[in-house]
Structure formats: structure tokens, C-alpha cells
Amino acid sequence: MYANRDAVNGLSKSIAKFHTYCKRKKMNDDRSYSSLLVPPSTQDWMQGVLSAKVVLVMYGDYQCSRSADVYRMIQGIKQELSASFGEDYLCFIFRHFPQTQIHPHAQRAAEVAEAAAAQGQFWPMHDTLFVYQQKLENGYLVEYANDLGLDIPQFLKNLSKQVYVDRIHEDIESGIHSGVTTAPVLFINTIRYTARWKMTELMTAIVAASH
């Protein structure tokens, strides 16, 4: 069963409210927002440490092909920069931004990632969801959980109780406050990345932010 209709409608209304606000203030262009207003914290899912020279925050959607492409790009960049400057050079943070209006499985996938996190398997599930983003129906999600060795009864119990809806909503709200209306969006040391989705350009922006 997917997240209840009230929860999903609540997320949709939050985004719709933001769009209305933008129209009134004539700020439809996402570039009007250049800073991350909810700073990275230990409550975020991260690879690396907050004291890194560069902290890269991504708002992503597990059913979004561009989000998957950008995540893979970031992993390649992180590997290269770690080899050159050390493991603590770049900290990567992922925040949920399921686009429920166009991706019907994105919200559920985000909840599954959180359910896996409760059993210490956030990043393995995160990677799996992006790799198999064309197969995010319930049956597949249980298969992924089983493959990761999760306690399936507990996993299903948490999902059925919608334990993680509020956690995901918090990520969405934090993005909306910073002008995020779609995914993916990146912030490098709290400054929004606005260049092209090219590995060389993103790496250049990351290195520049460290100086």
C-alpha cells in the first residue's frame, strides 16, 4: 500500500503553495534561490564528514532518471577527489524530494530507503533503488529488502504504519524553503549549483568551492 492519500496530498499542496508564492513575488525562475536555507546536519544521510572542505547536498527522486544519472556522476567525482585529496575532502548528503505528481513510486521508494536505514542499510538500499528505478513496484521492493538481509516482517510493519512519511516530508519542506521545485538539485557548500550536468563542470565547481 502506498502512503495514505492525505500524506501525499499534503506534499503536493506544499509544492503547489510554493508555486503560488513564486508567481506572486515574480520569482518563478529557480535561480532566484541561490542558498541552502536548511544547513547540513548529523540528521542527514551522508557519505563523509560535515567538517569536509566541500559539502554537497543533493535533493533527489528515486524514480527520476536524471537524479540517478547525477548520483552516479557524483560517485565518480567523489572517488576521484578522494584519491587526490583524501577521503574527507568531499561530504555527500542526500535528501528526499519525491515528485509524486509525475513519479507514482517515488514516495514509496523513499520510505523503503528509510525502512532499510532503520536496519543499518540506507546506502545499500539507496544504490539499489537508483540502479533498478524502472522496477519500484511493491514486489520488487520486498525483493531488494530480502537481498540486503533485512528483517522483512519488521520492514513491512514499518512501511504499513507509514513511520517515515514525516521524515521524508521534512526533506521536501527543507528543499521548498530553498527554492527546490523539482529534482535533482545540488547545493555546494550551501550555494546552488546552476551549471550543466557535466562531470567536468560539476567537479570544477566542487574544487572551486574548497578554496
CB 209 within 8 A of CB 188: yes
| Per-chain mean pLDDT for the chain | 89
Confidence of residue 31 (pLDDT cuts 50, 70, 90): very low
pLDDT at 9: 52
How many CB atoms neighbour CB 174 within 10 A? 20
Over residues 86-104, the mean pLDDT reads: 97
Domain CATH code at residue 94: 3.40.30.10
Number of domains in the chain: 1
> Mind listing the pLDDT tens digit for each residue in 132-189?
999 999 999 999 999 999 999 999 999 999 999 999 999 999 999 999 999 999 999 9
Please give the Cα distance from 136 to 141 (Å, whole number): 6
Residue 23 lies in a domain: no
Specify if 24 maps to a domain. no
Closest listed residue to residue 133, CA positions, set 150, 102, 109, 116: 109
**Is there a domain that residue 161 lies in?**
yes
C-beta pairs of 9-12 under 8 Å, 24+ apart in sequence: 10/169, 11/98, 11/100, 11/107, 11/169, 11/172, 12/100, 12/101
CA distance between the termini of the chain:
48
- pTM assigned to the model: 0.85
The boundaries of the domain holding residue 80 are 5-18+33-209
